[in-house]
């Protein structure tokens, strides 16, 4: 009886050890993924040989490669994603993609020369982790902490959310978009319409910069 | 005693505010929605006609080194509050850091004008009674927009008042003390607004629902401050939370 109990403990310890080793490997994998991909992005942004249009195209392809925009679009709809009409969802996803890339593209000129260092990672559950980084240099006056939410699906790693200044961007967009939908009696089209208006007006704040260093 | 009565009065009125909240299914996570939306509109108006122009004027008139110097002095004057809250949270290492910063910046940094501690690698951090209450397990309570002060919560607004209990000026007795306290609070607000001119413009330009955007940013920022910048991995939402079955 005692021997059986010891064997059971041994087997459990081995399984536990394997799981921990796997988690550690997954975290290291995710850290490598962020290190490589974020540095690719920084290289695009600081490449002076590229025109603004070329940078924009490269960056758009890059975002499509490392992220899962339809999944993020569904996430930002929050509870309104459940049972949403597929046509409305498709319309929203198309417009959300344009809006999100528009916001980032309007700021591409603000970057260049930054370097990124991975400082650690935490596993939330298998295939879901957060990688912590610090970005230095370039136009940054102070080091900037940036955390990356990485999920692995069907063997492919993707960035699903990014935290800057303590704010998770996709979560922030979800709070805004669900508020718009709530104010319009649960109509997903209302959010699509507001995003379309923003894109048409191309009002992403890029021309409102003030000279802080004055 | 007068301070204590003021704290009780403000806390009482905040609780009363909670009691007369309206219920709206569309804003079930925001029981004070009606009050908050009105205050948000009031603050935006005040910012447009007064606060932002003054902050822009301040930037135009005072060069960056002068603005940095004032910000450093105001930060240094907050050290007793930060230190008190470090201790109340049992974070004695951080309390030591705050004390070191205060001594270095007050002496070598000429009354806090220069942040010499930071240059020596002793980074600043922020603590307040709202964070202390959170560390003691007090829930944030409803989101609350305060007139002129902006986004807060029932807990953080209570903490804001309680912080005056850790402020040395509260216990001093000299003519002009209240004017000094009010002036300092006003200057801190002006400095903060000037520092965030671009951030707020940016937030307004990119947000599709400004009220919801500020609320979301405030709540996430505070949660991050309470966690001292550590990612709270278990608090993150599932990405597939609302996927169809």
Can you tell me the distance from the alpha carbon of A174 to that of A75, in angstroms, rounded to the nearest whole number? Answer: 7
Q: Is the ipTM of this complex over 0.85?
A: no
Q: What are phi and psi of A117, to 5 degrees?
A: -130, 130
B4 touches chain A (CB under 8 A): no
pLDDT digits (tens, 9 = 90+) for B23-34: 455 677 899 999
Instruction: Give the gap in angstroms from C-alpha A165 to the nearest C-alpha of chain B.
Output: 7
Give me the pLDDT at residue B241, please: 78
**For a pLDDT cut of 90, what percent of chain A falls above it?**
44
Give me the pLDDT at residue B206, please: 82
Q: Higher pLDDT residue, A45 or A169?
A: A169
For A124, residues 6+ apart whose C-beta sits below 8 A from its C-beta are: A130, B233, B234, B236
Return the structure tokens found at B27: 């804003």
Can you tell me the distance from the alpha carbon of B42 to that of B35, in angstroms, rounded to the nearest whole number? Answer: 11
For residue A133, pLDDT beyond 60: yes
CA trace torsion A45, A46, A47, A51 (10° rounding): 60
pLDDT digits (tens, 9 = 90+) for A11-64: 655 555 555 555 555 568 899 999 998 888 888 878 888 888 888 888 888 888
Residues 18-37 of B with CB under 8 A from A: 26-27
Give me the pLDDT at residue B11, please: 44
CB contact under 8 A, A124 and B236: yes
Q: Which residues of A27-62 are buried (b: 16+ CB within 10 A; e: fewer)?
A: bebbbebbeebbeebbebbbeeeeeeeebbebbeee
List, for chain B, all residue ranges whose pLDDT scores fall below the cut of 70: 1-26, 244-245
For residue A137, pLDDT beyond 90: no
B13 touches chain A (CB under 8 A): no
Number of domains in chain A: 1
Round the average pLDDT of chain A to a whole number and report it: 82
Task: Provide the whole-model pTM.
Answer: 0.83
Give me the pLDDT at residue A27, please: 66
Q: What is the mean pLDDT of residues A168-196?
A: 94
Sheet holding A144-153, edge to edge: A114-125, A128-137, A144-153, A156-164, A167-168
- Using alpha carbons only, give the angle B176, B179, B181 rounded to the nearest 5 degrees: 110
Residue B209: left if φ>0, alpha if ψ -120 to 50, beta else—which one?
A: beta
Chain B residues with CB under 8 Å of A168 CB are 220, 236
Can you tell me the distance from the alpha carbon of B4 to that of B1, in angstroms, rounded to the nearest whole number? Answer: 5
User: How many contacts (CB atoms, under 8 Å) link A and B?
Assistant: 115
For B171, residues 6+ apart whose C-beta sits below 8 A from its C-beta are: none
Chain B residues with CB under 8 Å of A176 CB are 207-209, 212-213, 216
The whole domain housing A88 covers 2-213
A168 touches chain B (CB under 8 A): yes
For residue A108, pLDDT beyond 90: no
Closest residue in chain A to residue B68, using alpha carbons only: A213
Closest alpha carbon to B151 in B80, B200, B201: B200
For A77, residues 6+ apart whose C-beta sits below 8 A from its C-beta are: A84, A89, A92, A174, A177, A178, A181, A188, A191, B242
A37 touches chain B (CB under 8 A): no
- Chosen from A23, A71, A182, A210 to mutate, greatest number of chain B CBs within 10 A: A182
Residue with tokens 């009105």: B38
For residue A214, pLDDT beyond 60: no
Give me the pLDDT at residue A210, please: 44
Q: Higher pLDDT residue, B35 or A201?
A: B35
CATH number of the domain within which A50 lies:
3.10.450.710
Give me the pLDDT at residue B242, please: 77
Give me the pLDDT at residue A140, please: 82
| DSSP per residue, B138-178 | ----SEEEETTTEEEEHHHHHHHHHGGGG-HHHH---TTHH
């Amino acid at each position: 009886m005692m021997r059986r109990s010891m064997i059971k403990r041994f087997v459990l310890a081995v399984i536990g050890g394997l799981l921990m080793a796997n988690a550690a490997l997954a975290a290291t994998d995710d850290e490598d993924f962020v290190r490589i991909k974020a540095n690719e992005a920084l290289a695009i942004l600081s490449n002076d040989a590229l025109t603004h249009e070329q940078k924009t195209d490269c960056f758009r392809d890059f975002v499509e490669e490392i992220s899962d925009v339809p999944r993020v679009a569904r996430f930002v709809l929050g509870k309104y994603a459940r049972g949403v009409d597929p046509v409305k969802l498709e319309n929203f996803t198309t417009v959300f993609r344009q809006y999100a890339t528009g916001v980032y593209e309007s700021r591409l000129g603000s970057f260049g020369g930054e370097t990124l260092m991975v400082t650690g990672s935490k596993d939330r559950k298998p295939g879901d982790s957060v990688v912590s980084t610090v970005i230095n240099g370039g136009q940054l006056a102070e080091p900037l902490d940036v955390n990356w939410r990485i999920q692995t699906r069907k063997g492919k790693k993707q960035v699903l959310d990014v935290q800057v200044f303590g704010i998770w961007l996709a979560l922030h967009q979800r709070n805004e978009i669900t508020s718009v939908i709530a104010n319009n009696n649960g109509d997903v089209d209302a959010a699509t319409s507001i995003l379309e208006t923003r894109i048409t007006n191309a009002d992403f704040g890029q021309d409102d910069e003030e000279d802080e260093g004055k | 005693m007068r301070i204590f009565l003021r704290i009780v009065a403000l806390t009482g009125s905040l609780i009363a505010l909670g009691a007369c909240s309206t219920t709206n299914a569309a804003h079930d996570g925001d029981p004070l929605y009606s009050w908050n939306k009105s205050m948000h509109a009031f603050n935006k108006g005040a910012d447009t006609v007064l606060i932002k122009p003054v902050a822009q004027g301040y930037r135009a008139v005072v060069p960056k080194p002068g603005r940095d110097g004032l910000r450093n002095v105001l930060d240094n004057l907050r050290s007793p509050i930060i230190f008190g809250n470090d201790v109340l949270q049992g974070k004695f290492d951080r309390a030591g850091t705050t004390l070191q910063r205060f001594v270095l910046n007050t002496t070598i940094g000429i009354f806090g004008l220069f942040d010499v501690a930071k240059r020596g690698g002793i980074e600043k951090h922020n603590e307040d009674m709202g964070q202390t209450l959170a560390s003691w397990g007090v829930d944030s309570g409803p989101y609350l927009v305060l007139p002129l002060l902006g986004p807060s919560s029932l807990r953080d607004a209570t903490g804001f008042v309680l912080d005056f209990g850790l402020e040395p000026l509260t216990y001093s007795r000299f003519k002009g003390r209240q004017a000094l306290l009010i002036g300092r609070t006003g200057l801190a607000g002006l400095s903060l607004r000037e520092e965030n001119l671009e951030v707020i413009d940016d937030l307004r330009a990119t947000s599709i629902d400004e009220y919801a955007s500020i609320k979301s940013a405030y709540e996430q920022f505070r949660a991050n401050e309470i966690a001292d910048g550590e990612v709270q991995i278990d608090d993150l939402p599932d990405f597939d939370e609302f996927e169809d079955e």
